[in-house]
């Protein structure tokens, strides 16, 4: 699914509103800027970010002596794009395989689904992928990962429920090294209610990975559910304290009219959005592309 299709709900809400605002032959007056700010806030780009965008747009309009709303449109596009500049979007890979990614995030955000989709994507590209069932806590998590493994034809290393997740990751990495798997994707538990335990658990996984493969984990990806809007940001901040992260996966962008949240995430967390979920299907995971995203947001 493309960004354009995946962001249909947001496009209908925000794009339509913005298009009306910019296309109608009004003036670039206070009423215009107020409505723009409201539309951006409604799309969940965040109050601070919306205010900053509007201020910057006012400034750019003045500087470039723009007279009417249609001419200001490309300026808004450029200001949004600028917010995604810097920070590599491509997933880091190991110099010598295996590349190890650890996925963190609270239950229900789409962690297992994302791992399944990415496994499929990598396998389709001809890579040998192994999954590590590191969520040994939640009932059903291991089985769910195994189902995704079957779907994408990728083996899963799992131990009994309640086992030490770091031991699962260790075993998966040993298998990857012995059998030549290029990627190890590690699921983890998401019970933020018990912060200290979770922190210890995730830190141990990271430590074990780093000991077994130089530079691992090559990514710690924090998975966030876009439909939870600004709550996703609060969750991210809590999680960052617990686990640290190198990038964001924003899931369920297709399920919300508030798809502007990627802007807020990028701005307020200072972490690159690396992948986005645009549906429940196995193919509905895309590398984040700022231009396609901003275009989909505004069109």
Binding site as annotated, residues for GTP: 105-112, 187-191, 251-254
Q: Please tell me whether residue 188 binds ligand GDP under the rule CB under 6 A.
A: no
Partners of 225 in the β-ladder: 251
> 């190991």: which residue's tokens?
94
Q: Report the residue number, 72 or 186, with the smaller CB distance to ligand GDP.
A: 186
Contact residue for ligand GDP among 112, 235, 246, 256 (CB under 6 A):
112
Partners of 276 in the β-ladder: 250, 286
Helices 290-298 and 69-82 pack at an angle, to 10 degrees, of 150
Q: Please tell me whether residue 255 binds ligand GDP under the rule CB under 6 A.
A: yes
Q: Of the ranges 47-55, 167-175, 201-209, 250-258, which one interacts with ligand GDP (CB under 6 A)?
A: 250-258
Report how far residue 215's alpha carbon sits from residue 222's, in angstroms, rounded to the nearest whole number: 18
Closest CA to 139 of 89, 103, 189, 173: 189
Minimum distance from residue 218 beta carbon to ligand GDP (Å): 21
CB 104 within 8 A of CB 239: yes
Q: Report the residue number, 235 or 251, with the smaller CB distance to ligand GDP.
A: 251
Partners of 269 in the β-ladder: none
Q: Please tell me whether residue 113 binds ligand GDP under the rule CB under 6 A.
A: yes
Report how far residue 104's alpha carbon sits from residue 14's, in angstroms, rounded to the nearest whole number: 30
| Cβ atoms within 10 Å of 260's Cβ, excluding its own | 28
Which residue sits closest to ligand GDP, CB atoms considered?
277
Contact residue for ligand GDP among 15, 46, 98, 110 (CB under 6 A):
110
Partners of 132 in the β-ladder: 157, 186
Q: Of the ranges 24-32, 37-45, 102-110, 236-244, which one interacts with ligand GDP (CB under 6 A)?
A: 102-110
CB 187 within 8 A of CB 133: yes
Q: Please tell me whether residue 219 binds ligand GDP under the rule CB under 6 A.
A: no
Q: Of the ranges 64-72, 77-85, 107-115, 258-266, which one interacts with ligand GDP (CB under 6 A)?
A: 107-115
Q: Please tell me whether residue 10 binds ligand GDP under the rule CB under 6 A.
A: no
Instruction: Return residues touching ligand GDP (CB under 6 A).
Output: 105, 107-113, 190, 251-252, 254-255, 277-280, 284
């Amino acid at each position: 699914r493309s960004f354009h299709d995946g962001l249909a709900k947001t496009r209908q809400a925000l794009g339509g509103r913005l298009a009306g605002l910019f296309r109608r032959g009004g003036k670039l007056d206070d009423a215009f800027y107020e409505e723009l700010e409201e539309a951006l806030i409604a799309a969940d780009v965040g109050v601070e970010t919306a205010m900053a965008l509007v201020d910057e747009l006012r400034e750019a309009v003045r500087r470039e002596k723009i007279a009417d709303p249609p001419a200001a449109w490309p300026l808004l596009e450029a200001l949004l794009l600028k917010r995604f500049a810097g920070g590599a979007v491509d997933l880091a890979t190991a110099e010598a395989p295996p590349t190890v990614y650890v996925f963190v995030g609270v239950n229900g955000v789409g962690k297992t689904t994302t791992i399944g989709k990415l496994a499929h994507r990598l396998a389709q590209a001809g890579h040998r992928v192994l999954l590590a069932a590191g969520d040994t806590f939640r009932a059903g998590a291991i089985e769910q990962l195994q189902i995704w493994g079957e779907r994408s034809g990728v083996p899963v290393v799992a131990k009994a429920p309640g086992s030490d997740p770091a031991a699962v990751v260790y075993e998966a990495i040993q298998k990857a090294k012995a059998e030549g798997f290029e990627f190890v994707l590690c699921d983890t538990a998401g019970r933020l209610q018990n912060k200290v335990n979770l922190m210890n658990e995730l830190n141990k996984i990271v430590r074990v990975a780093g000991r077994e493969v130089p530079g691992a984990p090559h990514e710690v990806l924090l998975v966030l559910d876009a439909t939870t809007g600004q709550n996703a940001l609060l969750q991210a901040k809590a999680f960052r304290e617990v686990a640290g992260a190198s990038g964001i996966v924003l899931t369920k962008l297709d399920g919300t009219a508030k798809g502007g949240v990627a802007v807020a995430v990028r701005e307020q967390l200072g972490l690159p959005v690396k992948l986005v979920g645009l549906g429940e299907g196995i193919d509905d995971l895309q590398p984040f592309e700022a231009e396609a995203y901003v275009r989909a947001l505004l069109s």
